Structure formats: structure tokens, C-alpha cells
Structure 1
Amino acid sequence: MTFRPIAYADLNARQKENYNFHKVAARLADFGFTSVRLSDDFEGADFIALHIDGETMLRVQLKARMTIDRKYIGKGLHVAFLDGNRVFLYPHDEMLEVLLEATTIGTTRSWLEAGTYTWPKLSSSVMVHLNEYEV
């Protein structure tokens, strides 16, 4: 059998979600987490990451890019996404609070009307706050 890398762009949406889950879960494994995929979003979580310490459990929403969303507020969620080979995992509500204070996203049409904001490309002003959440 010959293994050939796939082109991410050739995957359909469900395949991309599976790919992203496995990439994030593999990175978390390096830090003592076992990740369990949920069959449906439970209170906004796509998967649970359990640490070997027996105490730490993260409820994780998996995204294709950095996202904040009003529907995740108060649910104790972390958001994970890939940016190239980099994996980021941040506590949603804490990041939301920081970004609403440090940026103008709170005044954007996207946030005001839809209650969501995403970053197709990470700016240096966002990276200042995001760097500490790289896994």
C-alpha cells in the first residue's frame, strides 16, 4: 500500500471537519489529552478533551477559522482551529471579552446583526491576543 497525502481543498465539508478534528486531537494528545468526538453538538461542543490528570475536561467547538459567536457565550466552551500547521485553542468567553475591548469587532455589522465574527486571515492585532493559546 502506498500512502499519498491528500489536498485539503479537495475534501468536502464533513471530511474537512473530520480532518481538523484529528489534527487538533493529535496535537492535544502531546499534552496529555484524550479527545472524544461527539455525535452531535452538545451545548455547542463538537468534542470533549480529557486530561490525564483526571480533573481537566475541555468542551471544544471546532472551527475552520478563528471565531467568536454570541450563541457560545456562557457555555464554558473552548474554540479550536487550525491555521496552517498551527493549532489554537482558546476559551471563547475570555477571548471575546479581550477582543471586544481591544478591537472594533463589537461595532461591526457582522457582530451587531448576526452575533458572530470570524477571521479568514489572522491580523497582527489579533495574534497579540491569540499567541498564548497556541497548542
Structure 2
Amino acid sequence: MFAPVPYSQLNSRQQENYNFHKVAARMADYGFNCLRLTDDWQGADFIACHIDGQTFLKVQLKGRLCLDKKYVGKNIHIAFLRGDDCFVYPHDELLDTVLASGALNEDSERWRDHGQRHWPQPPVWGLSFLAAYRL
């Protein structure tokens, strides 16, 4: 009756649903209840509410490590899966780190012209940053 379905056989919307549930399950281990939003609200795909009653995270679900100018100043966290690892990191903190290191600047065509930068495989500096945000 139950048979696993390969991720590659899912369409993009099904993959997003799959990723949401995987991330939400991991966040539940850390005391968060994740509430899926029907549309991007203030840049978030879902809200993660902590059992402390005071911590609420606006989370954008992605497929990889990324930065996007449209999230700057919105207090957004980015969540993505990489193998068995789940990462939930503060967007603007990563941006500040990358800009300060010189790994990204306006000379980067993709950042300058499209306001985005993403890495299919996190670089060494990215893995170092992400270590603190691995669930």
C-alpha cells in the first residue's frame, strides 16, 4: 500500500510540499510548529512558532544556499535541505558575512543585475557559516 516515491518523480509544487514537511519535521525536534502559508507573506513560505511563545520565524523555503536582495531587511530565515542535513539560517546575517569577507560584491554579475546569488553546493566558507544553523 505504501511505496516511496523518488523525489525526482515529483513536480516542482510536489517537491516544495515535500521539502516543507521534511523541514517542518526537523524543526519540530527543536520545539517549533510550522504553519504553511498559502502565499508568500512578507517573503515567507511558512511561519515557525517556538514553544517558548516568543520566537516566531518567517521562513522562505529554498533548494540551496542563497541570497536575494528582495529579502534584505525583512527578518527572513532561509531553510533548505542538503542530503540528510537541514539548515535554517538568517538571510541578512549570511549576507553581512559574505559582504564583509568580500566573497560577494557588486562586481558579481548575478548579484548586481538580478539581485540574487545561490550556490548549488555550498562553498567552504558557506559550510563554515551554516554549521551554526544545521538542524
Cα deviation for residue 93 of structure 1 reads: 0.6
Runs of at least 4 residues of structure 1 off by over 4 A? none
How far residue 128 of structure 1 moved from its aligned partner, in angstroms, is 1.2
What's the secondary structure of 1:54's corresponding residue? coil
Q: Are 2:42 and 1:79 equivalent residues in the alignment?
A: no
Q: In the aligned structure 1, how far is the partner of 2:126 from the partner of 2:48? A: 25
Give distance in 2, aligned partners of 1:10 and 1:109.
Answer: 33
Identity, % of aligned pairs? 51
TM-score (structure 2 length as normaliser): 0.95
Does residue 44 (structure 1) correspond to residue 46 (structure 2)? The answer is no
1:103 CA drift (Å): 4.2
Secondary structure of the residue aligned to 2:80 is: strand
**In 2: Cα distance, 1:25 partner to 1:76 partner:** 19
Q: Name the stretch that deviates more: 98-107 or 14-23.
A: 98-107
SS in 1 for 2:73: coil
Unpaired segments ≥5 residues, structure 1: none
Aligned pair count?
134
The one-letter code matched in structure 2 to 1:39 is T
Cα root mean square deviation, aligned: 0.9
**TM-score, reference length from structure 1:** 0.95
Aligned counterparts of 2:67 and 2:75: Cα–Cα separation in 1: 13
Structure 1 SS opposite 2:36:
strand
Q: Partners in 1 of 2:86 and 2:29 — Cα distance?
A: 12
